[in-house]
């Protein structure tokens, strides 16, 4: 673990340089430092500075697209157009303040002292500040004779900005709260008083569990005790925020660590399952342990799949719905309970619908015939049925899902008809047939005829060719007149 693993994108370096040019401090901060030290690629890059939001806007307004939605809390976003577009958030150093609703500060006060800002952060691993100048400054400060020799290589103004932090420079990083030691030992610890940190912002409770699940960290005892003591405050956190944290946890490689032993916390998130979740702490079910191990497996090995499409790590609706369905299956949830829980957390209707489909078919018998597979594809859609195949493979094993998978492959390769879109006849064709014999068909009648023809193609092996279907349609129309 060394700062040589921190590679700041050129565009982020340029932002820091612009702030320096206007005599402001600038550090990359938080998750990007932590993830870099852990050998992971940062998902985003955040900067903290003593420049106020108004000053940040004055510096960058003419050259960059700015996002000011977070200005109230001291944050200005700079939209960067590199090979991919992303937003670099710049936040002004802030002082501790009181919080309202266990979530937001009642007021925001700024400071020019980085150390005061680090003291207010959530966890020590997120309170590490890095600036590429600090290494040079550290050596200049520790070797006065060197200063004369290297002064030309360093802007003295920059030295003036940062020299106050030299006592806290460790491995080239400003570490005021012991974050480097905690990262080295994979320990999750609140900055300062853990009870105060969770009381200020109860969402930190779920963030703590997410970091434990994602990073494989161990929550240290005093932090864990405060986490339990403040769990009831999660009721004040919005459904959207809880949903976001939970969805991220479902993709974590160490999800078991964040579930078993923390049932009292999850009982505050999934109210419908409070009793079985609390029991998790003392006697987790074999089903729960198996499903959690399965989730860890698919999150660690993204190539684990039975269908032709891998389980992507990206948060697609299908991939998220699959993980949510595994969770509710582990809880032995009814369809009604799962639906209520998903709605309470504010999941969109598409996700809820997919979970309902998956859970209602989780006990699908095997083997299925090709005919019954086509009927299922007709009823729930081929993509949804492929996802059901993934689910039962993960629950019961690949061997159990293989017959269904073979039938799905047959439908694909042989281009078999399974829905109205793949039927070789459409409503216009039926209208033309009816016109040829002097009949006008209502829309409902056309729909009924199409469904009848589809059923005969699937179940009675009527060839799915236009000529055959036209002849059969004419028979059905004429028969309806008698």
Q: State the Cα torsion 150-153-154-155 to the nearest 10°.
A: 130
290: burial class by Cβ within 10 Å (0-12, 13-18, 19+)?
Answer: middle
CA distance 344 to 352: 11
Alpha helices in 254-334 (DSSP H): 255-259, 263-269, 274-279, 286-300, 317-330
What are the contacts of 104-110 at 24+ separation with CB within 8 A? 104/73, 104/201, 105/73, 105/200, 108/72, 108/73, 108/74, 110/50, 110/52, 110/74
CA distance 176 to 119: 8
DSSP letter for each residue of 386-397: HHHHHHHHHHH-
- The confidence score (pLDDT) of residue 233 equals 95
- The confidence score (pLDDT) of residue 153 equals 47
- The confidence score (pLDDT) of residue 241 equals 96
400: burial class by Cβ within 10 Å (0-12, 13-18, 19+)?
Answer: middle
Question: In sequence order, what are the beta bridge partners of 79?
Answer: 65, 87
38: burial class by Cβ within 10 Å (0-12, 13-18, 19+)?
Answer: middle
CA distance 56 to 33: 22
DSSP state of 123: B
**Which residues, other chains included, contact 131 with Cβ-Cβ below 8 Å and sequence gap of 6+?**
16, 25, 26, 27, 28, 162, 174
Count the neighbouring beta carbons within 10 Å of the beta carbon of residue 1.
12
CA distance 450 to 390: 31
Tens digit of each residue's pLDDT, the chain (482 residues)? 666 678 999 999 999 999 998 999 999 999 999 999 999 999 899 999 999 999 999 999 988 899 999 898 899 999 988 777 889 999 999 987 666 665 566 678 999 999 999 999 999 999 999 987 766 555 555 555 544 444 444 556 666 777 888 889 887 799 999 999 999 999 999 999 999 999 999 999 999 999 999 999 999 999 999 999 999 999 999 999 999 999 999 999 999 999 999 999 999 999 999 999 998 888 899 999 999 999 999 999 864 555 544 444 344 899 999 999 999 999 999 999 999 999 999 999 999 999 999 999 998 887 779 999 999 999 999 999 999 999 999 999 999 999 999 999 999 999 999 999 999 999 999 999 999 988 888 999 999 999 999 999 999 889 999 999 999 999 999 888 76
Q: Which helix (H) or strand (E) holds 175?
A: strand 173-175
Q: Encoding tokens for residue 89?
A: 């958030």
- The confidence score (pLDDT) of residue 101 equals 61
CA distance 228 to 235: 14
Residue with tokens 């901060």: 29
Question: In sequence order, what are the beta bridge partners of 66?
Answer: 78
Q: Which helix (H) or strand (E) holds 116?
A: helix 114-119
Residue 77: phi and psi, rounded to 5, are: -95, 140
- The confidence score (pLDDT) of residue 360 equals 96
- The confidence score (pLDDT) of residue 138 equals 52
- The confidence score (pLDDT) of residue 142 equals 55
- The confidence score (pLDDT) of residue 166 equals 85
CA distance 282 to 285: 10
- The confidence score (pLDDT) of residue 307 equals 52
- The confidence score (pLDDT) of residue 162 equals 78
Say if CB 378 and CB 421 are below 8 A apart. no
């Amino acid at each position: 673990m060394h700062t040589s693993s921190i590679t700041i994108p050129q565009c982020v370096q340029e932002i820091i340089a612009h702030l320096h040019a206007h005599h402001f401090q600038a550090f990359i901060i938080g998750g990007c430092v932590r993830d870099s030290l852990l050998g992971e690629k940062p998902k985003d890059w955040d900067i903290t500075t003593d420049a106020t939001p108004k000053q940040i806007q004055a510096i960058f307004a003419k050259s960059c697209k700015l996002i000011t939605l977070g200005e109230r809390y001291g944050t200005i976003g700079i939209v960067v157009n590199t090979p991919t577009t992303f937003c670099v958030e710049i936040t002004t150093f802030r002082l501790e303040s009181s919080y309202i609703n266990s979530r937001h500060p009642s007021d925001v006060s700024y400071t020019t002292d980085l150390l005061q800002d680090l003291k207010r952060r959530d966890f020590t691993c997120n309170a590490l500040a890095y600036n590429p100048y600090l290494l040079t400054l550290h050596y200049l400060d520790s070797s006065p004779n060197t200063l004369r020799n290297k002064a030309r290589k360093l802007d003295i103004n920059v030295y003036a900005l940062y020299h106050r932090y030299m006592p806290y420079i460790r491995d080239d990083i400003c570490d005021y709260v012991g974050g480097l030691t905690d990262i080295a030992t994979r320990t999750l610890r609140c900055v300062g008083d853990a009870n105060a940190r969770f009381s200020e912002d109860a969402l930190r409770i779920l963030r703590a569990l997410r970091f434990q699940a994602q990073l494989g960290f161990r929550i240290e005892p005093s932090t864990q005790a405060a986490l339990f003591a403040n769990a009831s405050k999660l009721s004040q956190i919005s459904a959207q925020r809880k949903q976001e944290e939970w969805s991220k946890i479902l993709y974590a490689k160490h999800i078991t660590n964040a579930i078993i032993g923390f049932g009292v916390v999850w009982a505050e998130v999934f109210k419908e399952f409070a009793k079985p979740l609390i029991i998790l702490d003392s006697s987790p079910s074999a089903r729960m342990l198996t499903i959690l191990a399965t989730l860890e497996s698919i999150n660690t090995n993204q190539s684990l799949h039975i269908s032709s499409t891998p389980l992507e790590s990206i948060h697609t609706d299908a991939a998220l719905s699959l993980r949510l369905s595994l969770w509710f299956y582990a809880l032995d949830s009814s369809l009604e309970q799962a639906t209520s829980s998903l709605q309470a957390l504010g999941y969109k209707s598409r996700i809820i619908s997919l979970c309902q489909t998956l859970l209602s078919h989780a006990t699908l018998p095997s083997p299925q015939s090709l005919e019954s597979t086509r009927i299922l594809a007709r009823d729930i859609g081929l993509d949804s049925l492929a996802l059901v195949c993934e689910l039962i493979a993960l629950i019961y094993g690949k061997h159990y899902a293989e017959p269904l998978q073979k039938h799905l492959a047959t439908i694909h390769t042989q281009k078999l008809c399974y829905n109205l879109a793949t039927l070789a006849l459409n409503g216009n064709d039926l209208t033309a047939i009816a016109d040829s014999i002097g009949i006008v068909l209502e829309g409902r009648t056309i729909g009924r005829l199409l469904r009848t023809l589809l059923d005969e193609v699937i179940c009675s092996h009527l060839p799915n060719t236009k000529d055959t279907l036209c002849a059969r349609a004419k028979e059905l129309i004429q028969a309806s007149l008698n």
